[in-house]
A and B are shown apart, each in its own frame.
Chain A
Amino acid sequence: MIGVGSRGPRGEEALDALAGGPASRAGRPIHAARASWHDLDLRAMDPFADRAAWVALSLVPGMGPASFAAALRAYGSARAALAAGPDLVPLIHRAPPDAAAHLRRQSGESVARTYAGVQRLLGACDGRVVTALDDEYPGTLAQLDPRPPVLYVRGASDALHATSIAVVGTRRASGYGRSAAIDIGDALARAGLVVLSGLALGIDGEAHRAAVEAGGRSVAVLPSPLDRVYPPRHRSLAAEIVAAGGALVSEVPPGAGVGRPDFARRNRLIAGLSAAVVVVEAPDRSGALLTASLALALGRELYAVPGPIDAAASSGCNRLIADQSATIVTSSGGLLQRLGIHLVPADRPVAALSEVEGLVLGSLLRRSASIEELMRLLKMPAGALASALTLLEARGLATSYGGATFHPTLLARGRGGGSRVADSA
């Protein structure tokens, strides 16, 4: 069952094992003992009156979520903290040299001006500010400490509050990984869950798109500001996500577009927003493993899709499973079952397939394979298999994602879709 707030099935040893791993590379302590947000009484603050000050304070150079909490504690409110001017600098962890000068310029007027500027930029990209004081602020982030004081959101707010499952993985996805991401994204969306991911190329993109194409909702956490969607190639996908009732979320303020995309903060936010994390395909040292360890630290359920033992693209996933940090995903149906959801399988599509095509599709449904492998399995010549696969591709029943290995599509698995073959022109 999805246990928001409950500890996952794993003990602390797994965490320790991972502590030397990607989590520490993020450079941010997961349990920030200092400046914790938990003992702050946010209810005492006025979400409307403090809004501009919150945004302005979060934009102070070097101001991270932990420093923000420290400032709130020390001064009682964001407005008061800004009024303190350069005195605030010692509270900022690793404050850059221009922080003091920036704070010296802060006055009532400049705060309003800053906020208006942010609003103007957000208006242009249809976004809005959501602070930790707002009701719209996702409840799942309450466990994140320190939590981002200000989020920038575009799209439906209810998508942020529905139960969401993070589907993450490598940008350099193999056909196998893409196929699995589509299967899982589609199954989760059909089950009414929100598919959460980072809009990256590869696994993330496939999961988002599968959810949108299944008519479901998806939330993309951006490593970049809302007015500069990263990666640019997924701008239209981002628009589709919003149009389908999903949302885009970013911690990065609009107008900060020239900086590098902040993947570490994005991954942390994905872990925080999700009820469970599924790592579809990740090599060693993948950013998805960072999300995985953060998810474990937050007590989220962690799942991983296994890969062949010699597949470098899946070595991270395999290690998560071997370490018993993650629960193995053997099928999208099995994943839904573990999440406590039972989906009635749709009927198999009735397509007019010849005997050879039926054999090939049947073989692919058991295991994805290249023509070379199909030749061994089915004892048929390469030419006959090539023509059978072309027909399956044209019918939207199989695809190779440009590689040598062919995979059955969602349509072949009896779950609609099938429009994805359009890619191979």
Chain B
Amino acid sequence: MLAQVSTATVLGVEAVPVRVEVDVAHGLPGLTIVGLAGGAVLEARERVRSAIRNSGFEVPPRRITVNLAPADLPKEGTAYDLAIAIGILAASGQLPHADGLSTSALLGELALDGGIRRLPGALALVDAARAAGLSEAIVARDAVGEAAAVRGIAVVGAATLREVIGHVSRTALLPVADPAPIPDVVPSDAPDLTEVIGQSVARRALEVALAGRHHCFLEGPPGTGKTLLLRAARGLLPPLDEGEAAEVSRIYSVAGLLDRAAPVRRERPVREPHHTVSAQALVGGGPRVRPGEASLAHRGLLILDELRHFRADALDALRQPLEAGSVTVARVEGAVTLPAAFQLLAAANACPCGWLRSDRRLCTCDDGAARRYAMRISGPLRDRIDLWVTMEQPASLLSEIDGRVPSRVVARRIAAARDRQLERQGLLNADVAAGRLLADDWLGRRAVHTLVREGERLLLSPRRLHRAARVARTIADLEGSVAADPAHVLEALHYRPGIDR
């Protein structure tokens, strides 16, 4: 007799549905699992046998074949235990009324006593089941909180295999969990912009960067407020919208970083890895591909303070996500693409002592050392930075107290500018395709003319011009202009990388 049960497994940060097909036939007694099953999956045989027996049922002494489909997808982990167990029981006729099985996803690992353990990435798995058109997901009881964050599918928590059996044979229905509430946005604990002294240019650049998801780099001597500005940035972004929240929650679910008490995220993720981070930890990877900091900062901020102290291979690995918004990790079995549409905010000293090109103090670095230090931000990485700000220590600590705009005002302007972009093109300006950038209806005829003419005079590369076009559009959006002015373009060009000497 044949039975089919649905489950799902995690691949990269995405979950994919898996069909578990169980055939019980005459022949030599045994349990065979096929379909590119890895070591942990094969061990499911022993767990499933014990769990079934200890739940008061039996594994029929016949030839049992379990196929995990699609069969070409390599499978790892313990995600299939519950589905295999129920499939065996159904195929051996021990679940006579299990009509609900065709629309349920079974997501749990079995203990030998028949208990059900939670799977990592429960939220992502349930979401995959929903996307596959299933109407119900049965998960471990302690995973209900996380799983219930997914809407559009009934989430049922079960503690034991017996409970699941009762539920699917409609003898003892388990309650459907309430959907997890969408939490209020918690006020940010980020420092306020008013704490930064002076630095009007850096503030302005940061506002523009956040308004259009442009990558921004602050360079300057110590004590200019670089780090403080980066910290203040986390308090300036609007909360995640529903779609973004689902994407981010899936990634965090797979990474095991979801707050179980509040699985739905509203705050934009902010990741601030230390400069000793490895390339793999930064962009993801590993034998079982795990999301790195770049993916954990998806739809949020990746803050890299002291950018020039990061490992060269780690910075190199950032090139792809900076350009494409995703990371492709190649494996023998195939490539996995991790979402990584983060916004880079970085800061660094210009030289080892920090005072290169400052008017306030003398740089004490050897010229060669200073050059090598500058080159730690490679050409390709520099090319991908949209706004490059050279900072200087304020002349007076008391300067410009009146001119400082508080974070909440700036945050409002940023949110308004983002709304304008989403309304116009459904994307933030940073994500607009290059082909559209120089079209008259996007930037404006006069602005394009200025961009091309002045860009040529300043000997800028086409890539730099494209980046400036996006930044100029954002500056115009901050002002609420329909078309960008030449002045907006010129300001965008101001934030080009400085001289490398």
Taking Cβ atoms with an 8 Å cutoff, the residues of A that contact B are 171-172, 174-176, 201, 231, 283, 308, 310-313, 370-373, 375-376, 381-384, 386-391, 393-395, 400-405, 421-425
Contacts and interface: CB of A to CB of B under 8 A. Distances in A.
B491 interface: yes
Given A174-B359, A402-B357, A403-B390, A382 B458 contact: no
Given A372-B394, A391-B454, A425 B490 contact: no
Given A382-B200, A386-B204, A400-B390, A421 B458 contact: yes
Interface string B328-359: 00000000000000000000000000001111
B363 A388 contact: no
A174, A310, A382, A421 pick with most chain B CB within 10 angstroms: A382
What 10 pairs across the A-B complex have the smallest Cβ distances? A387-B490, A402-B499, A404-B392, A386-B494, A403-B357, A312-B362, A394-B457, A387-B491, A402-B498, A382-B200
B198 interface: yes
B359, B486, B498 pick with most chain A CB within 10 angstroms: B359
Interface string B188-202: 000000000011110
Contacts of B501: 402, 423
A386 B389 CA distance: 11
Contacts of A422: 459
Contact of B200 (A175, A372, A387): A372
Nearest to B350: A402
Contacts of B363: 172
Given A376-B400, A402-B390, A402-B501, 16 more contacts: A171-B367, A201-B367, A308-B359, A311-B359, A381-B204, A383-B487, A387-B490, A388-B490, A390-B491, A391-B454, A394-B458, A402-B357, A404-B359, A404-B392, A405-B359, A405-B392
A171, A201, A312 pick with most chain B CB within 10 angstroms: A312
B458 A424 contact: yes
B200 A371 contact: yes
Contact of A389 (B220, B486, B494, B499): B494
Contacts of A425: 458-461
A171, A381, A387, A422 pick with most chain B CB within 10 angstroms: A387
B358 A403 contact: yes
Interface string B441-470: 000000000000010011111000000000
A387 B494 contact: yes
B298 interface: no
Nearest to B494: A386
30 contacts: A172-B362, A172-B367, A310-B360, A311-B359, A313-B359, A372-B395, A372-B399, A372-B400, A375-B200, A375-B400, A381-B204, A382-B203, A383-B475, A386-B494, A387-B490, A387-B494, A390-B454, A390-B490, A390-B494, A391-B454, A394-B454, A394-B493, A395-B457, A400-B498, A402-B357, A403-B359, A404-B357, A404-B359, A404-B391, A424-B496
Contacts of B403: 375
A392 B74 CA distance: 60
A156 to B, nearest CB: 29
Nearest to A375: B200
Interface in B381-406: 390-392, 394-395, 399-400, 403
A371 B201 contact: yes
A423 B486 CA distance: 23
Contacts of B490: 386-388, 390-391
Interface string B413-427: 000000000000000
B204 A383 contact: yes
Contact of A176 (B359, B362, B391, B459): B359
A372 B491 contact: no
Given A312-B361, A312-B362, A404 B390 contact: yes
B252 interface: no
A370 to B, nearest CB: 6
A395, A422, A425 pick with most chain B CB within 10 angstroms: A425
Give the size range of B's interface with the partner. Answer: 35 or more
Contacts, number: 120
A424 B491 CA distance: 15
B217 interface: no
Contacts of B359: 174-176, 308, 311, 313, 403-405
B80 interface: no
A199 to B, nearest CB: 14
A420 to B, nearest CB: 10
A386 B495 contact: yes
Nearest to B357: A403
Contacts of B362: 172, 283, 312-313
Contacts of B491: 383-384, 386-387, 390
Contacts of A405: 359, 392
B488 interface: yes
A404 B494 contact: no
Contacts of A381: 200, 204
Given A387-B494, A390-B454, A425-B458, A373 B357 contact: no
B232 to A, nearest CB: 16
A171 B400 CA distance: 34
A201 B366 CA distance: 12
A403 B392 contact: yes
Contacts of A388: 490
A372 B458 contact: no
A287 to B, nearest CB: 13
Nearest to B356: A172
Nearest to A421: B458
A288 to B, nearest CB: 14
B357 A423 contact: no
Nearest to B370: A172
Contacts of A311: 359-360
A233 to B, nearest CB: 9
Interface in B120-135: none
Contacts of A401: 357, 499
Contacts of A421: 457-458
A401 to B, nearest CB: 7
B352 to A, nearest CB: 13
Contact of B487 (A283, A313, A372, A384): A384
A35 to B, nearest CB: 37
A382 B201 contact: yes
Contacts of B367: 171-172, 201, 231
Contacts of B394: 372
